[in-house]
Structure 1
Amino acid sequence: MQTLDKKQAFIAEDFLLENKYSQHLYHTYAKGLPIIDYHNHLPPNEINSDKNFENISKIWLAGDHYKWRAMRTLGVPEKYITGDASDEEKFQKWADTVPYTLRNPLFHWTHLELQRYFGIDELLTSKNASAIFNQTSEMLQGSDFSTCSLLNKMNVEVVCSTDSPTDTLNEHVSFSKKENDLQMYPAFRPDKAYAVEDPKAYGKYLAELGELANGQGIANFEELIQALQIRVNYFHDRGCRVSDHGLEQLYYFEGEPYNMDVLIHDLRYGNTLTKEMAEFFKFKVLVELSKMYHSKGWVQQFHLGALRNTNERMLSVLGPDTGYDSIGDFDQASALSKYLNKLESSDQLSKTVLYNLNPRDNEVFATMIGNYNGGGIKGKVQFGSGWWYLDQKDGMERQINTLSNMGLVSCFIGMLTDSRSFLSFPRHEYFRRILCNLFGNDVKNGELPWDEAWLGKIIQDICYYNAKNYFDFDPKNIIV
């Protein structure tokens, strides 16, 4: 395949690096660092089996609702997105779409990923789609394009999957016994433990959780918490040191306006809770979980602000996580503060990472974290990196600048992929280039001194070392 000269490639050596200081910081201090990806949605079985994908559509388009939304916007029929079209036809439609994604982060990510994994410098278009499909699909059959090889190619040191309390973690245990520079750890994601909006589904989940935890059902609140504690212990013994929660917002209640045993009884018999009852239920379960995390020394993550499954017709056809979610406009500050304060008041607030999806909350979150830092822990409460709709250039810059203005960006634990794709890890490079460019421009503008060694250390800390020291990821933690 004919490719452009490297000097003419769109993703050039100094992509996004606007001056000599930015370029030096990136190439000297950030570029070569390993990656700790402490939150993603990669399937553990595909890592453990060191899977090879049949073609680029399987690894790149399947499950990627960023791409799906763009294709729908352009008018591509659903047949070529999630339907029964062939993989090559789907790739062709994506290639047709890419030139129209100008100024969307997909345009940058697409060409970064083609270049970093496959060495392709061409811009993807309708004209070269067939050739690129064939070339990449052939390359993906090689041993150096298996899942572990792809992660090693990007210098990934740690990946954390996203796992329900009812997951067996057999894939993690099996992988931990293999010789590999890559480390894979579970992350405890207990959203279903308080997803009470559908009583029928929740009743089934209680039965599953109870059977797995202690071989019996769950009939009251105490038994629910005991079952979750058993699963937290189980995860801990298999190397888990981080939890994650996807919520519209955190909740807080004074006193006991409802009896949790009664609520569980109602749910088990198919009765729907009111909105306030459901929020109280979430609050009570989350507080107990947060106390468990603190006792184990875990990091807890809260992803707040997504308005999910807004298109009921398509939800019924395709299910959740298919590209019909948006930014929500939920009030965050008051309940978030009271929730964290409740844990802090009994000295049971664990290390915490807060992610907002609505950019209007940047300043809220950046100032909130400073209220609960302390205990001799560097950056104990973190304002997480730009998430979902905000993990693009503008969103990252705004998050970094807000954190810089209202906290200490030098304590920031940096980027994660939050991705379901094995080809998404150049997002760390994207973040590192943006970070270095911000620092470099400050030097150019006289807002920071050119103390190369010190600036280089701060860049390296944000990109790698802060996360390495913040999380207790260690193969020796796996005791089974």
Structure 2
Amino acid sequence: MSFIDENFLLQTKTAQRLYHEHAKNMPIIDYHCHLSPEDIANNRQFKNLTEIWLEGDHYKWRAMRTNGIAEKYCTGNADAYEKFEKWAETVPYTMRNPLYHWTHMELKRPFGIDKVLKPETAREIYDDCTSMLQSEDFRVRGILRQMNVSVICTTDDPVDSLEHHQKIKADDFGIKVLPTYRADKVMAIEDAAVFLPYLQKLEQVSGISIGNFQQLLDALQQRHDFFHAQGCRLSDHGLETIYAENYSDEEIRSIFEKALNKQAISQEEVLKFKSAMLVHLALMDHAKGWTQQFHLGALRNNNTRLMRELGADTGFDSIGDFDVARPLSRFMAKLDNSNQLAKTILYNLNPSQNELYATMIGNFNDGSMPGKIQYGSAWWFLDQKDGMEKQMNALSNMGLLSRFVGMLTDSRSFLSYPRHEYFRRILCNLIGNDVENGELPASEMEWLGQMVENICYYNAKSYFDF
């Protein structure tokens, strides 16, 4: 029997009651992830456990490298079972890393495997899971149904055709799969080798020739309208920090013209351009009633050698330390002053800034709706027991945990949905401990149960209007 039993992480009777009676069976709204729309559209069938579990998972690659495993077993051309074998060899060394919990929760659901993964059990587990993956219930859509997913929001570039979303919608297989508008590449004006080819792609898909800044905005608006027609209701930005420099419209027009002509652009001009783009994109979101998300604080691609060899998102990012409070305040105040601040979710990666974010949202919650500005769930390196508890404690202390829109996977893996279960168990344990410690009233169990259900599902359903 696995240590992941029915009361895993639930330390009190109250926590167990809250989880089993209120959290466990709530549907999942995964409002931010990096799942492949193509895989969902094609109802992909994975050939083996390595393909579904290790392909694209930089968390596991990072741990394997740290354990002394050569790159060929991570991103290289080693045999599928050899890669899995090296992962199984690494798993015992991940104890006290969240990967140890995630690994065994993902084996338990959806595969029903209770064994601890280690070299001695690797072959049996690999063969059993690979066999299950050949059945209809373990194709992509079957896994999503098993995990009780109701809504998925993928992450999509404005130049994406969304053809796979259109196929998914036409198939109507019972789960909403919606795009999210992530326009980070249009802000990369500092890198002409990336920026100018991107503008060409934007021209092609929008049908708008981009010869000046207004035409750039027109092209982005055309794609924004197109995404909205396909059901998109969220945008997302992955930034080191918010850009909120003062600028004039004439300055931005001039900076963009210099970029088109491949002229040198100063760092000050780069920051002004990024600041202007953030404001214009935020205005588009507000006009359509979208929610804007900001993932802030990652220091990306630290290993330049392996970045060149392997590309981005391969496990060489870390927590950054950037000036956050002043630019974030200026940016949100600028939009709030004209009553054009959209619903906003802020995610931080540096845990030293938890209380900063938790108090910042209170500055711009205006009473127009519950929890308009959200302090987002613990993200990336903080997406673990300690990080989740600290995020929820900061939100509880500085705001209203009861209005929190809850968990998301932020994952590229279809096996990551037990992260919602992980979050729910941690949430119920947090509240259950407070009840049993006399810090919350045991007489209010009906309300506490509803609070748990709201955080797990109903708050997000209402907030995003899904």
Say whether the fold is shared (TM-score over 0.5): yes
3-state SS of the aligned residue for 1:76? coil
State the 1:255 CA deviation.
3.9
**Per-residue deviation, residues 191-241 of structure 1 (Å, max 9, x unmatched):** 01101231121001111102211242x121111111111100000001000
3-state SS of the aligned residue for 1:422? coil
- Corresponding residue of 2:141: 148
- Corresponding residue of 1:456: 449
Q: Separation in 1 of the partners of 2:109 and 2:360? A: 38
3-state SS of the aligned residue for 2:284? helix
3-state SS of the aligned residue for 1:118? coil
Distance 1:430 1:371, change over 3 A: same
- Corresponding residue of 2:203: 210
- Corresponding residue of 2:413: 421
CA contact (8 A) 1:220 1:260 kept: no
Q: Separation in 2 of the partners of 1:455 and 1:243? A: 32
Q: Does 1:18 align with 2:18?
A: no
**Per-residue deviation, residues 45-75 of structure 1 (Å, max 9, x unmatched):** 1001111100111110011000000000011
- Corresponding residue of 1:105: 98
Counterpart amino acid of residue 385 in structure 2:
K
State the 1:117 CA deviation.
1.2
Q: Separation in 2 of the partners of 1:275 and 1:133? A: 51
CA contact (8 A) 1:219 1:264 kept: no
CA contact (8 A) 1:258 1:277 kept: no
Question: After the TM superposition, which parts of structure 1 deviate over 6 Å for at least 4 consecutive aligned residues?
Answer: none
Q: Separation in 1 of the partners of 2:123 and 2:190? A: 46
Q: Which of 398, 404, 407 is the aligned partner of 1:406?
A: 398
CA contact (8 A) 1:241 1:298 kept: yes
Counterpart amino acid of residue 197 in structure 1:
E
TM-score by length of 1: 0.95
Counterpart amino acid of residue 459 in structure 2:
N
- Percent identical across equivalent pairs? 55
State the 1:275 CA deviation.
2.3
3-state SS of the aligned residue for 2:110? helix
**Per-residue deviation, residues 428-469 of structure 1 (Å, max 9, x unmatched):** 000000000000000010000011100000000000000000
RMSD: 1.1
1:359-398 aligned within 5 A: 359-398=351-390
State the 1:258 CA deviation.
7.1
- Corresponding residue of 1:170: 163
Q: Which of 248, 266, 270 is the aligned partner of 1:278?
A: 270
Q: Which runs of 5+ in 2 are unaligned?
A: none
- Corresponding residue of 2:84: 91
Q: Separation in 2 of the partners of 1:447 and 1:70? A: 39
State the 1:178 CA deviation.
1.5
CA contact (8 A) 2:92 2:118 kept: yes
State the 1:254 CA deviation.
2.5
Q: Separation in 2 of the partners of 1:276 and 1:24? A: 56
Q: Separation in 1 of the partners of 2:263 and 2:78? A: 42
Q: Which runs of 5+ in 1 are unaligned?
A: 474-480
Q: Which of 213, 232, 246 is the aligned partner of 2:238?
A: 246
- Corresponding residue of 1:476: none
TM-score by length of 2: 0.98
CA contact (8 A) 1:54 1:141 kept: yes
Counterpart amino acid of residue 310 in structure 2:
L
CA contact (8 A) 1:199 1:272 kept: no
3-state SS of the aligned residue for 1:173? helix
Q: Does 1:269 align with 2:253?
A: no
CA contact (8 A) 2:206 2:222 kept: yes
Counterpart amino acid of residue 65 in structure 2:
R
Aligned length: 465
